[in-house]
C-alpha cells in the first residue's frame, strides 16, 4: 500500500499542475465588436486600448455612454487621452476607483497588439474598407 501511494502521489501532483497550467488565462485578445483605440498609444510607447463594447453594452443602455458621456458612434470619433480620463471625462466618468477600477492598472485597458489601427474588431465595414484599399490600382483609382 505504501509503495502504491508513493507512485500515485507524484503522478497526481503532476496531473494537477498540468491542468492548472492549461486553465490559466491566455493573453487578452480583442473579440468581435471590441473597439481598438490607438490614437496616441503607439506614440506613447503603450499598447492600444481594447474597449470591450459588448461587455459594457449588456450592463448599460447606449445612451449612458453615447448620450450622457458624449462618446461618438464611430471608432476614433473622440479625442480621448489620459488627461481627459483622469479629469473624469469619457472612460474616467466610471473608471475612477468608485464605479469601476481606476487607471493604475494600465494593462487592463492597454492590452491590444502594438501597431493595430483604431477600429471595430472584425467589423464588416472595416473589412470592406480594407478590401477597397487593396483593390485600388497604383494610380489611385478603384478597379472595376
pLDDT given at position 135: 62
For residues 78 and 8, which has the higher predicted lDDT (pLDDT)?
78
pLDDT given at position 11: 66
For the chain, what are the domain ranges?
35-121
Dist CA 75 CA 39 (whole Å): 10
Chain segment 57-100, per-residue pLDDT in tens: 999 999 999 999 999 999 899 999 999 999 999 999 999 999 99
pLDDT given at position 119: 87
Chain segment 106-130, per-residue pLDDT in tens: 999 999 999 989 988 776 565 655 6
**pLDDT higher than 60, residue 3:** no
Burial 66-105 (b: 16+ CB within 10 A, else e): eeebebeeebbebebeeeebeeeebbbbbbeeeeeeeeee
Chain segment 46-58, per-residue pLDDT in tens: 999 999 998 999 9
CATH 3.90.10.10 fits 35-121, yes or no: yes
Amino acid at each position: 500500500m505504501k509503495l502504491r501511494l508513493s507512485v500515485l502521489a507524484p503522478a497526481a501532483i503532476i496531473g494537477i499542475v498540468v491542468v492548472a497550467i492549461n486553465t490559466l488565462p491566455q493573453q487578452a485578445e480583442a473579440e468581435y465588436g471590441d473597439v481598438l483605440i490607438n490614437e496616441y498609444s503607439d506614440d506613447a510607447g503603450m499598447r492600444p486600448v481594447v474597449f470591450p463594447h459588448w461587455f459594457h453594452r449588456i450592463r448599460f443602455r447606449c445612451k449612458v455612454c453615447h448620450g450622457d458621456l458624449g462618446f461618438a458612434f464611430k471608432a476614433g470619433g473622440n479625442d480621448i487621452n489620459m488627461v481627459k480620463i483622469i479629469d473624469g471625462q469619457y472612460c474616467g466618468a466610471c473608471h475612477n476607483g468608485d464605479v469601476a477600477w481606476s487607471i493604475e492598472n494600465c494593462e487592463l485597458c492597454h492590452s491590444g497588439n502594438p501597431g493595430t489601427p483604431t477600429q471595430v474588431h472584425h467589423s464588416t465595414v472595416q473589412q470592406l474598407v480594407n478590401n477597397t484599399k487593396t483593390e485600388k490600382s497604383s494610380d489611385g483609382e478603384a478597379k472595376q
